[in-house]
Chains A and B, each alone.
Chain A
């Protein structure tokens, strides 16, 4: 029984993992300077933010929702936290603590609102979060009248710029990795996770079992909001500035990572491990193509192709799994 479950997991995650490995091998042989330690650090840095956003997005998509506002929420959280960090007269540690709290709290409140409004009025989250995308971006720009905030306390920016293990692994990447681990645990080992999957497939079954699906759905949006806030803080610490135009279109990369990772937009199917690999694929692809000298436009085209190919492959994988299950 155990082996069957393991086999299922390998089937589910293995294909996409293999794709990532092939991609890495391909670039290692074709792109000079791809397989260097410095470039590994680059890639890890580049995929951190998208991984964090995509993990939160996975929760929402598992209950068949979508959150288009994460890029803007990330920017708004960043600007608000940045403003707090620059407050005059606060001891540095207090300012940092308050800034972090502000960034996360804003993400949490907006995420909650996204979920609550969708559930309260039975609106598609696509529409609600599209509205929120504009609201949060507008708020981010308004906060400083579109100005960028500079010069944060080094205590805050050190975190985002520190690397460990021979300066290969950025600390912020470890945060993303920890988030993946915690989320995987929640989704596979707890009742909350079990109900998230069940709701994504058959909300009515969960209702009849005596639980209120809306509560869990709102919780997924709240989680997604918090991860967007976290992404804002980490991005600010890494860039050492806070800019209101950061994260434009970030929601699309996050959704792409989730989809490439094998999570179904219809809900109930997928995993954060897949999402993480999806984010790696996007990151490696962008990095490798850039190193090879492929221009921006072509890169964008190729990324689009990869998304479509991934969902087509997933279609065949699902069929294959069904056949082996039936056999």
Chain B
């Protein structure tokens, strides 16, 4: 516990009309650790990470980054802090090549105007190499032709290219076969071994137990438990997901 969190949320809430998507959630991510975020459909996992990324403004609560109170109002703010998100639908542009995607919206320039293709290409190659992503044969091919695992690898590599300190992955293995899941989980582990803080959302408890250092369970927008995999069982986690104890939310009918 001497490992100071990179990111800490204290009592964050988010409401969409009548839906209390998050209610007073405390949450932390530490360097070198994979924090798993689990919960049933609609538990609030995606909402939580979108709050961290600044896509949604949180209604209440405090966010600390490296010990400092921060206010994140958009993807640019979170990126400036060193937070990178790999979204559920990957957010890749199929018509651009691998390099174009890895630098999308943050292209390197030369003489202030021209795209610096050579530099971007080199950095893309070296980032993929450093993550031991060997399945991508050319960084100049359009991502449209790539497999799900390759696309996921590019989205992850894109996230670590910016000296990021916290990488968040929303269901990175949901659409993948066994071998590709294996590769992506290895990749996730390597990120943490590099000293990054990693948050991973997944519905697959087997994967979660394999790759994570801590597990946070959300249920109906509330944090109901936090576990260390070696000290718990899948049954216990499943129980927390489906029947974890809730606090009463003022003004809401009991779920």
Chain A residues proximal to chain B, CB less than 8 Å: 1, 4-5, 189-191, 194-195, 197-198, 200-202, 204-211, 268-269, 322, 325-326
Partner of A194, one of B76, B107, B140, B144: B107
Give 5 pairs: A residue, B residue, CB < 8 Å, sorted on A.
A198-B95, A201-B93, A205-B91, A205-B93, A268-B93
Partner of B96, one of A190, A194, A204: A194
B89 near A198: Cβ-Cβ < 8 Å: no
Are A322 and B104 also in contact (CB < 8 A) when A4-B138, A205-B92 are?
A: no
Find residues 82-137 in chain B having any chain A CB closer than 8 Å to their own CB.
85, 87, 89, 91-96, 100, 104-107, 109, 113-115, 121
B109 near A191: Cβ-Cβ < 8 Å: yes
B91 near A325: Cβ-Cβ < 8 Å: no
Query: Within 8 Å CB of B55, what residues of A?
Result: 208
Query: Within 8 Å CB of B145, what residues of A?
Result: 322, 325-326
Query: Within 8 Å CB of B113, what residues of A?
Result: 189-190
Closest to B108 in A: A191
A205 near B95: Cβ-Cβ < 8 Å: no
CA distance A264 to B61 in the complex (A): 46
B96 near A197: Cβ-Cβ < 8 Å: yes
B105 near A209: Cβ-Cβ < 8 Å: yes
B115 near A194: Cβ-Cβ < 8 Å: yes
B79 in contact (CB, < 8 A): yes
Are A202 and B144 also in contact (CB < 8 A) when A1-B121, A209-B104 are?
A: no
Query: Within 8 Å CB of A209, what residues of B?
Result: 75, 91, 104-106
Query: Within 8 Å CB of B79, what residues of A?
Result: 210
Q: Which 9 A-B pairs have the closest CB atoms?
A: A209-B105, A205-B91, A210-B76, A210-B75, A198-B93, A201-B95, A268-B95, A325-B145, A201-B93
CA distance A263 to B152 in the complex (A): 28
User: Shortest CB–CB separation between residue A205 and chain B, in angstroms?
Assistant: 4
User: Shortest CB–CB separation between residue A191 and chain B, in angstroms?
Assistant: 5
